[in-house]
A and B are shown apart, each in its own frame.
Chain A
Amino acid sequence: MKLRQVLQQNKSMSQTRRRMRRRNNIDAWVLMLPMVIILYLFVWRPTVLGGVWSFFRMSGYSVGEFCGIDNYKMVLSHTQFMPMLWNTIQYVLWSLLIGFLPPLVIAIMVDEIVHFKSGFRVLIYLPTVIPGIAAMLMWYFMYYPDQTGLLNMLLSKIGVDPYLWLNDPKFAIIGIVIYSTWKAFPGTMLLYFAALQGVSSELYEAALIDGAGSFKRFWHVTRPGIEGLLLLNVVRQIISVFQVMEAPMAMTGGGPNGASTPLSLQLYRYGFNSGGKGTGQAMALGVIIFVILIVFTIFYFWLNRKVENRH
């Protein structure tokens, strides 16, 4: 009898638990619904439709007949496709070379500062709050190739001839990457700074007692504490820089003679500057970039899981 009562009790408890779980699920969906609708309208639907329409002949934004992989053929046989892909890779490589270390170095420096730490943090964060176009114009005028450019003014003070800066095809991408690094490093710096706060001060004290210098302290204490974040940022930086578009569009227009045109700028031109003739190609190029980036994204999630598991 008792056993039956216990079983009955257990059954009703599990039913209640199931009911609560179901209710929680419904609550969660109700709360998520607005965001799901927004994501469907502005992210998932356009992404899927873009993929589907890349197989159709488009007239402006009106869908024409099915054309197989014609749009892909047009994109891949574009005489500038390979140079633009190489430009994009150069953006990524230069951004890793120029842009990867400064946020970390500055985060460590800010972490070491004893006085006015929060003041420095605000000052260093300023480039991020400057509107993008204003910042690009500022750098455009700093790079201006005649005597009125700020950098050339400085060069003239030390008796050096004016340099072409963004007008030099070999420097255009580097110049844009320097600007992008300046604009984006404070956000990353704050992430590193937060991670540095998590490194136990006892480990530093122990290292000091063991006679470790500043480099050894960094290598044996700081680095292991933030290396997960460092790895994730490398992948995030690759994904984000691969889609660079606004800076080359505003600062060089992709020139000189296409020397700084990345794939995303070409996608923009197909979509918005082709008089409606290139919409299909824009979607095909979008899919190509998507496929390239999805590889990095899968790698990013795999790495993220590894890092989370480790910590």
Chain B
Amino acid sequence: MFKTKKKSIWKAVATVTALVLICGCFVGCGKTVSDKDEQGRTMISVGSWPSSEGESLDKMNARKDRFEAANPDVVITPDTWAFERQTFYSKAAGGQLPTVYMAGFTEIPEIIGAKYSADLTNVLKKRGYDGKFNDAIVEVLSNDGKMMAFPTMAYILGLAYNVEMFEAAGLMEADGTPKQPKDWNEVVEFAVKIKEATGKPGLVLPTAGNSGGWIFTSIAWSFGVDFMEKNAEGRWQATFDTPEAVEALQFIKDLKWKYDVLPANTLVNGEEWYKQFATGNGAMTITAGDYPRRVIKYGMSADKVGMMATPAGPKRHVTLLGGEVLCVKRNATEDQIDAAIRWIETAYNYSLTDEYKKNAEASIESQLNEGRHVGIKSMSPWNVNTEALAWYHDYIDSKTNANINHVRLYNEFVANCPADVQPEEPVCAQELYAILDGCIQEVLTNKNADCATVISNANSDFQVNYLNNLL
């Protein structure tokens, strides 16, 4: 009797579970998603929302409350998903992206190509953005003259250095300004001096996780390398099987085998790179102006962080342009795009509104509380004449938490850039970086590697495996 009852319970549980699963499969089928709630307010979801309790979440919630009070026709739904290449395409295909999501300049050509971002041109025009953005950045984010993303942060690569190690090697002026290596040869001289003075590697470069290739492209450009071009038939051709590319790779190889100024680990991905630099296992590195946020977790405090201009190469003085954008998902309605831009404006604005000031001040305050360096003036997405930018730079000066001379040379480099500012490669950038990672690893682990053969193979791999497969 008891056994029969128990069996019936199990059967009931199994039936209910099966029904729930079947119903779950059909939830959402045929449902039309409206952009309005019951009160007629436009609903937008915002990605990269802080997921853990703390100052960032409190500030974001306060920003949301102020925004909704000032814009009663809009309601914000927080979404903690932040851009990841690994999950982006499945979320996009499933229609699960937040209305507003953040992405990097590297990914923007692919996102635009896959039509996963909405055209913001009309709304931006309506809200007076014509001529307000930095022209170089507009070029990267446009498709057939249409603005497909809202730039929030931009940077150009510079040479970061460890202040204490520079001091130990006598490479600092009395006022805290570093000596600036003019070209790659001087970088090597500096690295050798630092190694002699401190016993630590003078330079650390990434070599894995696509970061190695990313940094190498900018070095190679300065040696005169062009990685690809479109031929007369409109097909992309890899063009870096050249003496210039071999020379650039030989430069990397010499850092290890001729000058011995690199760390022992030759598998350095993005995280390992900043860890090595922050913990004094590399006195210099080539990186973006936002690097203080990446090194603070390894204890590199504000007074140890320094930054200066990217050195010139034998053929060109060039630096890489990168940054972050906010995209609006492709099937957003015109009302949602308008609401999204209004939300974005509260933190990123050409016009000096009270709300913008409040959010910018809160952001700097958070950085100061974390002990992060404040003082680097990264490249701005805005035209230099915008009043918000002028105020923001003055505000950074007033809040700087270390000797401003440590980063003065980089700030001057950004303000009046003597170098060519070049965006990332237009197609298959990540795939190219992965192949170049392999080239760097090969020459750093094999003393007898022939740079010409390595480059020739890489050029052919890139053409056969990726460029030939582009439609």
Contacts and interface: CB of A to CB of B under 8 A. Distances in A.
Interface of A: 27, 30-34, 37-38, 41, 57, 59-62, 74, 77-80, 144-146, 162, 164, 166-169, 252-253, 255-258, 269, 272-277, 279
B33 interface: no
A80 B442 contact: no
Given A79-B460, A274-B431, A167 B265 contact: yes
B267 A272 contact: no
A275 B445 contact: no
Contacts of A145: 264-266
Given A61-B89, A79-B465, A256-B441, A38 B21 contact: yes
Interface in B18-62: 18, 21-22, 25
Contact of A144 (B90, B265, B471): B265
Contacts of A144: 265
B461 interface: yes
B86 A257 contact: no
Which 9 residue pairs of A and B lie closest in terms of their CB atoms, listed nearest first? A61-B93, A146-B264, A60-B89, A275-B110, A33-B18, A34-B17, A256-B441, A272-B86, A257-B442
Contacts of A164: 264, 266, 445
- Which label, helix, strand, loop or mixed, suits the secondary structure of the B interface? helix
24 contacts: A27-B11, A30-B15, A31-B10, A34-B21, A38-B21, A60-B89, A60-B90, A60-B93, A60-B116, A74-B469, A78-B464, A167-B267, A168-B445, A252-B267, A255-B441, A256-B266, A256-B441, A256-B442, A257-B438, A272-B87, A275-B114, A276-B89, A276-B110, A277-B469
A157 B57 CA distance: 49
Contacts of A57: 471
B461 A80 contact: yes
Given A30-B15, A74-B469, A59 B441 contact: no
Interface residues of B, number: 51
Contacts of A257: 438-439, 441-442, 445
Nearest to A258: B438
Interface in B93-137: 93-94, 107, 110, 114, 116
Given A37-B21, A255-B208, A255-B437, A79 B265 contact: no
Contacts of B114: 59-60, 275-276
Given A34-B21, A41-B25, A272-B85, A167 B92 contact: no
B7 interface: yes
Given A33-B14, A34-B18, A145-B264, A273 B86 contact: yes
A273 B445 contact: no
B269 interface: yes
B464 A79 contact: yes
Contacts of A77: 464
Contacts of A32: 14
Contacts of B465: 78-80
Contact of A169 (B10, B107, B269, B445): B445
Given A27-B11, A273-B430, A253 B89 contact: no
Contacts of A276: 89, 110, 114
A34 B441 contact: no
Given A27-B11, A253-B269, A274-B431, 7 more contacts: A31-B11, A34-B17, A37-B22, A38-B21, A61-B94, A256-B267, A279-B89
Contacts of A62: 93
Contacts of A31: 10-11, 14
A167 B262 CA distance: 14
Nearest to A34: B17
B15 A167 contact: no
Nearest to A62: B93
Contact of B267 (A27, A59, A166, A273): A166
A211 to B, nearest CB: 54
